Each structure stands twice: as structure tokens, then as C-alpha cells.
Amino acid sequence: MEKNKIITFIKFGVVSMLVLFLYFPELRSMVIDWSDKKEYSHGFLIPLISGYVIWTNREKLRNIPAIPDIKGLFIMMAGIFLLVSGSVAFEPFTRRFSLIITILGLVYLLLGSRIYKVLLFPIGYLFFMIPLPYIIIKSVSVSLRLVGAKVTYNVLSLLGMPIIQDGANLELPNISLVVGDLCTGILSLVAITAISVIYAYFTQKSLTAKVSLVFLAIPIAILSNMARLVMTVGLVYFYGESILGKVIHQFHGTVNFLFTLILLVIAGNIIKKIDMRILSRSSK
């Protein structure tokens, strides 16, 4: 038995080293992105969270025998194909995403479908450590800037404030403001989504409840940021542009992020209560 364990560890070590050899350039560039870009600084935490989820399933995994399955080879080859395609086409996102597919393929091939099902979520969760392509981030940001400006204009106009909107520009009597990328909350949207997924995984029972909470997290984050935008512009109207340089504005984003998390927890509790009621009715 001991000999088998040692062989298993050696095999695991060999496969891990080979994956590292294959993906070292992508892993290195990803870590650099996590360090350089604020919106992806949460990337450092994602593998740790993924590891923790695997650790919480350790008893289940211990009791499942490893039965290699050739079907995993197809998944693994799909991952390798994506890696090669991404290299040929100079697409870093495709190469990084292929890492997850390759790992899933290796799990299926070497450990079998039952272990694969248990590890599917924690390995799939690694998706949140991958910086999204700039084209997607920019497209979302452009839309959010316009919507943010429109909502701010509508709310403040209703409150009787003299404000004009021209695209993402907001004209006040004392100053002109532009809703920039940082104002859209795009930096925190990815992190909020990652948090909502893991929060839903640990707190919700049914798949419907989990998916509902994750889908709800995005509008919660966007609306919360809109509220921050309205408040900021309102403060600028009353206290002048100096408010933008003050501590209150610098930390506004942090406070808003924490507020969004609180809303997420509240939403999670409500969805959980509804889900429990539905589950208890269906069991009767």
C-alpha cells in the first residue's frame, strides 16, 4: 500500500512538472498581470480558494477509487489544441484558458469521471484568475460609462440639480465631469463575480439557487456603483471639485465594494430562505 502511495505521488509530481514546463510562460505572464493590474490583483487568491475547495472535499475524494478513463484524452487534447492555437494566433487569453481544460482532461484521463465531477468546480473556478481580453473589458466599460452617465443625469435631474449629459460627459454649473473607466466599477466587477460564485457554492443548496445568486451579483455590483456615481457627482455639485481629491473619494470605491458584498450576503440569505421553502415543499 505504501509503495502504491509513493508511486502515485511520483506520478502526480511528474505530471505537475510537465504541466508547469508546458505552461510556464503563461503562468509567469499571468502573475505579472495580477501584480500590475489592480482589477486582477484578486488573481493571487483564486488558486488558494480553489485549493481550499478541493481540501474541503478531501474525504469524498479519498473514498472514490481512481479509474482512468480514455475519454479524458479528448478533453486534454482539446486543451492542448487551444494552447497551440493561442500560440499561433498570439492570443494570451486562449492559451491561459487552455490550462484549465488541460488540467480537467488530465484529471479525467488519469483519475476517472467520478473524481473529475468532484474536481470540476474547483478547477473550473480557476477561470477567474485569467485576465479577460481587453476587447471585452473595453466593450463592457464603454456601455457602463454611458449607462452610468445616463442614470446619474436622470437621478440628479429628478432631484432638481442643473445637470446636462452629453455622452459620458456630465456638465454641472461649476464643473464638467467625465465618467471614466474607473468610475464604471469595471475593476471590481470581475472580483465581485468571483466572490459571488464561491459564496453561492458554500451557502446555497440547489443549483438553481447558486446560479440565481451569481446572476444577481452582477446587477447588484452595477447598481451599487451607479449609486456611488450619483453620490460623487452630487457631492461635487455641493462642495466643488476639491472633493474629488479628498480621502472621501479615494476610499469611496473601497466602501462601495464592501457595501456590494453586504448586499450580496443579504441576497444570498433571501435566496437561501426561498430555496429551503421550495425544497421542503417538494419533499412533502
Partner 1 sequence: MKKKNIYFAIACAILIIAGLYLRIPREASGIPPSQPLADFPFEFSGFRGKSIFSYNNYNASADQSVQRIYKKEGVDMPVYVFLEYWDSQSETKRVVSPRYPGSGWEYYWIKTRTLSVDSGSVNLKEFLNERGTKKELVYYCFIIDGKIISDEYQLRLRSFLNSMLYGRSNIAVLRVSMPVTEQWSVENAESFEENFLKALLPVLREYIN
For residue 229 the three cell numbers come to 456615481
Residues 25-44 interacting with partner 1 (rule: CB under 8 A): none
61 lies in the binding site for partner 1 (CB under 8 A): no
Assess contact for 50 and 198: CB atoms under 8 A.
Answer: no
Among 167, 218, 239, 240, binds partner 1 (CB under 8 A): 167
Q: Which is nearer to partner 1, 109 or 220 (CB)?
A: 109
Please give the residues from 135 up to 164 whose contact with partner 1 meets the rule CB under 8 A: 135, 138, 142, 145-146
The CA radius of gyration of the chain, in Å to the nearest whole number, is 23
Taking CB under 8 A as the rule, does residue 11 contact partner 1?
Answer: yes
190's grid cell: 470581475
- Reduced to 3 states (helix: H, G, I; strand: E, B; else coil), residue 178 is strand
238 binds partner 1 (CB under 8 A): no
Torsion angle, alpha carbons of 129, 130, 136, 142, to 10: 40
Q: How far apart are the first and last CA of the chain?
A: 47
In the complex, least distance from residue 153 CB atom to partner 1, rounded to whole angstroms: 14
Q: Alpha-carbon distance 113 to 266, whole Å?
A: 36
Nearer to partner 1, 134 or 239 (CB): 134
Backbone φ and ψ for 179, nearest 5 degrees, come out as -75, 105
Stretch that binds partner 1, among 8-16, 42-50, 207-215, 259-267 (CB under 8 A): 8-16
Near partner 1 in 86-115, by CB under 8 A: 87-91, 106, 109-110
Find cell 490583483 and name the residue.
41
The answer to whether residue 84 forms part of the interface with partner 1 (CB under 8 A) is yes
Listed residue (222, 75, 12, 50) closest to 130, CA to CA: 50
How open is the CA angle 169-244-251, to the nearest 5 degrees?
Answer: 115
Decide if residue 168 touches partner 1 (CB under 8 A).
yes
Q: How far is the CB of 226 from partner 1 (least distance, A)?
A: 17
Name every residue whose Cβ is closer than 8 Å to that of residue 279 and which is 6 or more positions away in sequence.
Answer: 205, 206
Nearer to partner 1, 90 or 238 (CB): 90
Q: Is 13 near partner 1 (CB under 8 A)?
A: no
In 3D space, the residue among 20, 112, 18 whose CA is nearest the CA of residue 68 turns out to be: 112
Q: For partner 1, which stretch binds (CB under 8 A), given 42-50, 84-92, 199-207, 212-220?
A: 84-92
The distance of closest approach from Cβ of residue 148 to partner 1 in the complex, given in angstroms and rounded to an integer, is 12
| Contact set with partner 1 (CB under 8 A) | 11, 14-15, 18-19, 21-22, 66, 68, 70, 72-73, 76-77, 80, 83-85, 87-91, 106, 109-110, 134-135, 138, 142, 145-146, 167-168, 178
